[in-house]
């Protein structure tokens, strides 16, 4: 009996029989996309792929997340905007990028605030960090966890940075964030904001002399091919935020939201562990690639911190005394 004749027979048999003849309903499959701004070798993209694996495993393949690395879907700024517009589902920008939309996220990047990764975990996973994530829905975003980029160091093609004076006159690329721009201008450099996916060419053509990023970014972006010196300034800790777009999130069933949230937490722990392992290994790798690495002394880092005190005070006033007091209290409570 053909399908059409079988359905006609069911219909003639009555509504109850017709219902029994119809295929059983099933939960709809969901195909999501996640964009990262960094290459496959970077912990941001490694963490994204782990998140995708966990979501697929926990839903038996009903929900899949396709990962597009290396700014294939645009810069962090563009991808965050795409989340808000509903044309992308997940991304993981820096807190410095998010600060352009929600100023409070900029507090994480205040210079020389964190002393260790453990302290960062305690602050960002604790009430203070969760209070930042709670601000995201007002901008059509959902925060699923803080990922790690790491402590930022300066590389350049001109000289080692051993003292504050060595910053003078360097054209240094910064993130597209006013705090970072003022930070390096305050040290005597000439800050040039641009997206990270434009940076290699700018360094190669000497449009800029320098940049600042953790070891993982220096290695993944192959900056060692166009930068000779790496100085361990450790001037700021950089966190990323795994985000979902609220338009996508609102279409999910509550059970699916819970599943994705649990996968995000597991992926967050994996991503941080990967970041720390690689940052620990890559110093030696970068030296083998020909970079000259120098450790900035504690007294000189303190001089850099003091030189940036006016910048910290400027942005503390912008962020608000209550927010900054909460941040400082969380840092003190989590002191290593």
* Domain-located, residue 11: no
Domain CATH for 252: 3.40.190.170
pTM, entire model? 0.89
* Domain-located, residue 224: yes
Handedness of CA 209, 214, 218, 220 (dihedral sign): negative
DSSP 334: T
Residue 170 sits in which domain range? Answer: 27-333
Cα distances (angstroms) measured from residue 5 to each of 15, 34, 89, 238: 16, 45, 43, 65
| Count of domains forming the chain | 1
Report the run of H or E that residue 64 belongs to, with start and end: strand 63-68
* Domain-located, residue 112: yes
Report, as an integer, the average pLDDT of 121-150: 98
* Domain-located, residue 318: yes
CA contacts within 13 A on the Cβ side of 52? 21
26 pLDDT higher than 90: no
15 pLDDT higher than 60: no
Across the chain, mean pLDDT equals: 93
* Domain-located, residue 172: yes
* Domain-located, residue 15: no
The pLDDT of residue 336 is: 74
* Domain-located, residue 235: yes
* Domain-located, residue 109: yes
Q: How confident is the model at residue 12 (pLDDT cuts 50, 70, 90)?
A: very low
More confident site: 19 or 50: 50
pLDDT tens, 85-123? Answer: 999 999 999 999 999 999 999 999 999 999 999 999 999
Provide DSSP, 252-281.
S-HHHHHHHHHHHHHHHHHHHHHHHHHHHH
């Amino acid at each position: 009996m053909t399908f059409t004749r079988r359905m006609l027979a069911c219909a003639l048999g009555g509504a109850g029989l017709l219902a029994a003849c119809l295929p059983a309903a099933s939960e709809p499959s969901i195909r999501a996309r996640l964009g990262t701004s960094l290459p496959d070798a970077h912990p941001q993209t490694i963490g994204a792929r782990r998140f995708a694996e966990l979501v697929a495993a926990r839903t038996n393949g009903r929900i899949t997340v396709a990962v597009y690395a290396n700014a294939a879907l645009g810069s962090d700024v563009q991808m965050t905007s795409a989340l808000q517009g509903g044309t992308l589902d997940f991304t993981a920008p820096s807190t410095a990028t998010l600060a352009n939309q929600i100023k409070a996220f900029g507090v994480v990047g205040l210079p020389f605030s964190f002393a260790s990764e453990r302290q960062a975990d305690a602050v960002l996973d604790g009430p203070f960090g969760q209070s930042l994530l709670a601000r995201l829905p007002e901008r059509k975003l959902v925060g699923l966890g803080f990922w790690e980029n790491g402590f930022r160091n300066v590389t350049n093609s001109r000289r080692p940075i051993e003292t504050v004076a060595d910053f003078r006159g360097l054209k240094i690329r910064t993130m597209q964030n006013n705090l970072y721009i003022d930070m390096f201008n305050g040290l005597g450099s000439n800050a040039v904001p641009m997206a990270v996916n434009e940076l290699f060419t700018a360094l190669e053509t000497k449009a800029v002399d320098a940049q600042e990023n953790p070891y993982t970014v220096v290695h993944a972006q192959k900056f060692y091919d166009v930068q000779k010196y790496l100085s361990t300034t450790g001037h700021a800790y950089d966190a990323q935020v795994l985000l979902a777009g609220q338009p996508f999130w609102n279409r999910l069933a509550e059970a699916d939201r819970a599943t994705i949230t649990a996968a995000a937490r597991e992926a967050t722990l994996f991503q941080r562990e990967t970041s720390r392992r690689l940052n620990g290994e890559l110093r030696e790798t970068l030296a083998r690639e020909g970079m000259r690495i120098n450790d900035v002394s504690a007294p000189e880092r303190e001089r850099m911190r003091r030189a940036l005190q006016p910048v910290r005070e400027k942005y503390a006033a912008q962020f608000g005394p209550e927010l900054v007091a909460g941040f400082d209290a969380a840092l003190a409570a989590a002191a290593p």
